[in-house]
Amino acid sequence: MKNHLITNFYELPVEKLMNNHLWDIPIIEKNEDIINILNILSGRNHIWVVNTKKKKELIGVITEHDILTTLSPKDFSPYVFGVPDIRSLQHGTVKTAEDIMSTKIITCKPDEKIIDILKRMRKYQLRRLPVVKNKKLTGEITLHRLIQKYYKATQYYSLEEEG
């Protein structure tokens, strides 16, 4: 029964398990002030960045790693090869979400299967993916949520097997 359970879980579409309550997902506009970003990240691990909250077109993500980059003191050596990362609170180069966000976002679609997004999460070492339809953010799916949903299913089926 457990093998059947995991197989069925893998085949579920993302839309069945994703969090689509946008009021509960950290979302900001690209011109949001850095102080508000720090406030949100004091209680969250990430923030999705959209062009406007009305359109909800996903354009970036801000993670704790992005904040680490901007909080760290910069040492601009004259012998640095390549282009140094100049995003810095120390030097005042970061003022808005657009200044700090990562724009290379790995996404998923509502109709994709759970097995496919799990593979993507593992490949890119991600714990969350934004769910996007026609460039519009419609929700998110997190590893934490997948664990919760699968655990809940195992509890239901284990009770069913005993009875």
- For residue 63, the Cα-to-chain-centroid distance in whole angstroms is 8
Q: How much is the pLDDT for 160?
A: 44
Closest CA relative to residue 30, chosen from 5, 47, 6: 47
Fold (CATH) for 2-162: CBS-domain (3.10.580)
Q: How much is the pLDDT for 157?
A: 67
Q: How much is the pLDDT for 77?
A: 57
Q: How far apart are CA 117 and CA 133, in angstroms?
A: 15
What's the pTM? 0.84
Q: How much is the pLDDT for 162?
A: 41
The ranges assigned to domains in the chain are: 2-162
DSSP H or E run through 116: helix 114-124
Q: How much is the pLDDT for 70?
A: 81
Q: How much is the pLDDT for 161?
A: 43
Token digits of residue 99:
């200044």
Mean pLDDT (10-residue bins), the chain, 163 residues? 83 97 97 95 96 97 89 62 59 85 97 98 97 98 96 73 40
Q: Is 131 left (phi over 0), alpha (psi -120 to 50) or beta?
A: beta
